[in-house]
Amino acid sequence: MKTRIIVDSTLDMTESFCRRARVIPLTIHFGQEVLTDGVTITRSQFYERLVSVEAMPTTSQPSPYAFEAAIRKIHEQGDIALIITISSKLSGTWQSANIAAAETGGEVYIVDSLNVAFGEKAIVEYALRMKDAGTDIHTIVETLNHEKENLRVIALLDTLEYLQKGGRISKTVAIAGSLLSIKPVVSVVDGEVALLGKARGS
């Protein structure tokens, strides 16, 4: 039996990456317009639209059915399903995956990455390398759950605009911060986005 990896669309994907793992998309809401991440809207289109909107878009997790369909297809091939998701503290995606796993039965393993975007992608790439090396599923899951605790992702936000649009800070604070060239430094700590500090300039 082979290990087949299922991921969600919140990680930073490339075309070659998508050929090696099954991607379950989240849904993006721009007001009343509903779009499917990576299907009806690309990353570049998302960022282009982000610049022009007044209110921040929202997302919703994939349905359990979307995961269930992917799991059943893997089981039909006689293989094992390994699902790696965005942090359970940032999205209900992990919960949807667990509901689907309970419905399908069979060999399904779920890893909560406790991360998002680049951090989640690093964990998935590690899983792919182990799979390609012939590592058994139990060792892969155990290793991922151990090593994800050692992953540190730190980001400097170049603008305060989207924090203000998302209601995290007031417009006054955003303007003052921009004038002083203050840039928040954030990280993912215990599965949640945390402010580490503020930098003056880049």
Does residue 78 carry a pLDDT above 70? yes
- Ranges 104-118, 140-154, 182-196: which has the least confidence: 182-196
Q: Which residues contact 184 (CB under 8 A, 6 or more apart)?
A: 156, 157, 160, 163, 195, 197, 198, 199
Measured N-to-C along each axis, helices 118-132 and 137-147 cross at an angle, to the nearest 10 degrees, of: 150
Average pLDDT, the chain: 89
Confidence of residue 174 (pLDDT cuts 50, 70, 90): low
Residue type, 190: D
Does residue 131 carry a pLDDT above 80? yes
State whether residue 133 is helix, strand or coil.
coil
Mean pLDDT on 103-112 = 94
pLDDT at 173: 65
Q: What is the pTM of this model?
A: 0.89
Confidence of residue 134 (pLDDT cuts 50, 70, 90): very high
pLDDT at 161: 74
Picking from 21, 7, 52, the residue whose alpha carbon sits closest to that of residue 131 is 21
pLDDT at 169: 62
The helix (run of H) or strand (run of E) holding residue 6 is strand 3-8
Mean pLDDT on 93-110 = 95
Mean pLDDT on 31-51 = 91
Q: Could you tell me which residue, 121 or 165, shows the higher pLDDT?
A: 121
pLDDT at 166: 64
